[in-house]
Amino acid sequence: MLKKRKNVRKIIVLLISIVGVLFATNVKAAKIELPEKTDHEIVKVYLFRGAGCSHCYDFLTYFSDKFKDYEDYFQIAAYESWNNSTNQKLMLAVKKIVGEEENGSVPFIVIGDDYKLMGFGEKSGEEIIKAALKAYQDENYTDIVKKAIKDNNLSPKAETIAQAAKEESISVKDEYTKTDITEVYENHSAKKGLSDGAVIAIVFGVIILGFAGLVVLSRK
């Protein structure tokens, strides 16, 4: 009988461990809190990039499976600026506006009129998301890139995050199902994955059923 109880305890510990792994894998522990949706215009996160640029690749990799979570608040517009002269003129014009050195260095990220970033590091992704969500809540949000295009009479070539990722051979992944949805997103018709609430409900359901089964087993 004692041996049987020990085995039951081992099974319980194993079950908790498995559920913990599933929970950590499927639910983002520190997901950034989203503001209330309003009639504010969708914020643009501008990425000036270069083909083959390693830090631009890091940006695209980071956002390729996250951008859909924030598409009601901000969208990413990418401009390849090493091989497209018009895109480069736009980048230099924007750098002049924000006080950056007017050179070809990328990645160069701009949001509104008060956020700029050269390069892309370990903590840059979360910083950019927070800056974009802050801009979404700003009644005085000003799109300086849009203004620069108009003021300089430019016709740059913009890419969606999916298009830019594809150019760098990065697959756009659904964050939950890990299904390749590059082509779908280029047509703006991707399906949503399971919500965090749904995943949490499933995990707790597994826990309850597991413990119920163990109780029944222990009584036999």
Instruction: Read off the pLDDT of residues 191-205 as tens digits, 9 standing for 90 and up.
Output: 344 444 555 556 566
Q: Which of 186, 209, 201 is nearest to 64 (CA)?
A: 186
What is the pTM assigned to this prediction? 0.69
Q: Mean per-residue pLDDT for 167-174?
A: 80
Q: pLDDT tens, 131-169? A: 999 999 999 999 999 999 999 999 999 999 999 999 999
How many whole angstroms separate alpha carbon 218 and alpha carbon 220? 6
Using the predicted structure, report yes or no on whether residue 117 has a pLDDT greater than 90: yes
> What is the rounded distance in angstroms from the CA atom of residue 161 to the CA atom of residue 78?
7
Cα–Cα distance between 73 and 134 in angstroms, integer?
A: 10
Locus of tokens 């413990």: 211
Question: Higher model confidence: residue 57 or residue 30?
Answer: 57
Q: What's the pLDDT at 179?
A: 44
Q: In angstroms, rounded to a whole number, what is the distance separating the alpha carbons of residues 52 and 115?
A: 25
